[in-house]
Amino acid sequence: MVHETKVGQRNGSQATVPKGLARNMGGLAHDLFTLTELHFALLSRDLRDGRSRMLLTGLLMFVSAVIGVACVPIALVSLAIFITDQFETSYALGFLLAALAAGALSGTLGVIGCFKFRGSAAVLQRSSQELTRNLRWIKTVLERDRDTKDDKQHSTFRGSGND
C-alpha cells in the first residue's frame, strides 16, 4: 500500500561496523600482535641466556661424575700407598682413606653443580613475568572496552524518548 512505510531488510540498522569500533579492534589486534612478537623475542633471549648458563652447569656436573666414577685410580692408589707408608697403617686403611677423600671431593663438586643447576633452571622467569603482565593488560583493555560499550548502550536507551 502507498500510505504504509516501506521497511528495508535491515530495519534501519547500519550495514557496516561503526568506524570507532573497527579502529579500536584494529588497534587492539595490532597491539596483541606486537605484544606476542615482543614476548617471543624475550623468550628467545631468555633461552639463549639460559643455554650458556646450563652449559657451564652441565659441564661441571659431568666433571663431577667423571671424578666420582673413575676416582682417578692412579692418584688414589698413590695416595693410599703414601698413607700406608707415612702413618705405618695397613693397606686396607690406606686405601679406605684415599677412597673417602675422593668421595668427599666428588660430593663437593656434585653439591656445587646442583646449586648451580637450580639457579640456571629459573631462566624463564623474565618471560613468565612479562607474559603475566601482558595478559593482565589485555584483560584490562577488554574490560574497559566492554564497560565503555555498556555505558554507551545505557545512554542510548535512556535518551530514546519512548518512556
Q: What is the pLDDT of residues 69-94, one digit of tens each?
A: 776 788 889 999 999 999 999 999 99
CB count within 10 Å of CB 102 equals 19
pLDDT value at residue 93: 94
Cell of 20: 570507532
pLDDT value at residue 163: 47
pLDDT value at residue 14: 55
Q: For the chain, which residues make up each domain, given as ranges?
A: 58-122
Q: Which residues of the chain have pLDDT under 70?
A: 1-23, 71, 121-124, 145-163
Cell of 134: 601482558
